[in-house]
Amino acid sequence: PPASAPRGDLMFLLDSSASVSHYEFSRVREFVGQLVAPLPLGTGALRASLVHVGTRPYTEFPFGQHSSGEAAQDAVRASVQRMGDTHTGLALAYAKEQLFAEAAGARPGVPKVLVWVTDGGSSDPVGPPMQELKDLGVTVFIVSTGRGNFLELSAAASAPAEKHLHFVDVDDLHIIVQELRGSILDAMRPQQLRATEITSSGFRLAWPPLLTADSGYYVLELVPSAQPGAARRQQLPGNATDWTWAGLDPDTDYDVALVPESNVRLLRPQQLRV
C-alpha cells in the first residue's frame, strides 16, 4: 500500500448483552457495517476485528480474517446477539491479552484503534482495563446510544473527549458514520518515520506529512553504523512523504535521521535504525 495509506489494527467492541434490545442491536450492527465497508482492509495494511460483550467475550472474527471492507461488512451483518450480562471490563481485558498483545500475534509498531459501541452500562469496572489498553497505545473511540454516564465515558475515551466520544440516538447513528470513519483513518495513518520494502541493497522510508511545500524542507541522513564518516544526505521538499535508498551494502546496519527544517515551527528529528 502507499506510504500514506492507513495501516493498523481496528477492533469493534459491541454490547451484545441482554441489556440491549434486538432492535437496538440490529441498528448498531448496521452502523458498524457501514463504518467498515469502505475501509481499505488488506494484508500488511488495515485489519479489523469484531468482539461481542456478554457474560463472556466472543470474537466474531479476528484480525486478518477478512481482506476487504465488504467481506467484513457481510460478517458484521451476519453476527448474532450473544445476550447474557454486560461484562465490558472482562471483554476489554480479553482484547488486551488475546488480540492487541504481541504475544497473541498483534503486529508491533502499527496503530491500534478500539471502537466501543455501548448502551452506556457495564456490570463490571471498565476504567482499569481500558486504561491498560490506552497504556499500550490503543486509541479509544466510544459511541454511546444515550444512556451512559458522561463523566465515566469521557474518562474512558481517548483525549480529547470531544473528538473520541459520541452520544447518538440509536436511530441517528448514520449521522456520524462519515465523521467517525475519517477520525479512525486519521488515527491509522503513519505517525512516525518507518522503513518498508527492505531488500539486501536498499529500503523505502515513509513518514507522515509534517511539512508543506511552502513551510520548509527535509534533510535525510543515512549513516552506516560501523562507518560514521560515510554519511549520505538527501534534501527533499516539504510535501515529500517517502524516499527510497538504493545501492546499499547487504548485512549492514544503517542509522537514518529525518530532519524537518521548518520556517513555521520547531519539529524534532526522527531517527531509525534499519
Q: Using an 8 Å Cβ cutoff, are 273 and 197 in contact?
A: no
The C-alpha atoms of residue 6 and residue 8 are separated, in whole angstroms, by 7
| 222 bridge partner residues | 232, 256
Q: What is the pLDDT of residues 195-207, one digit of tens each?
A: 877 888 999 888 8
Average pLDDT taken over every residue of the chain: 89
| C-alpha closest to that of 142 among 131, 153, 152 | 153
pTM to 2 decimals? 0.70
Q: Which domains does the chain show, CATH number per domain? A: 8-188 (3.40.50.410), 194-273 (2.60.40.10)
pLDDT band at 5 (very low <50, low <70, confident <90, very high): low
Nearest 5 degrees, angle CA 141-CA 270-CA 254? 125
pLDDT band at 3 (very low <50, low <70, confident <90, very high): very low
Q: What average pLDDT does this structure show over 178-185?
A: 92
pLDDT of residue 220: 96
| pLDDT above 90: residue 235 | yes
| pLDDT above 60: residue 174 | yes
pLDDT of residue 200: 87
Q: What is the pLDDT of residues 49-107, one digit of tens each?
A: 999 999 999 999 998 899 999 999 999 999 999 999 999 999 999 999 888 877 766 77
pLDDT of residue 1: 42
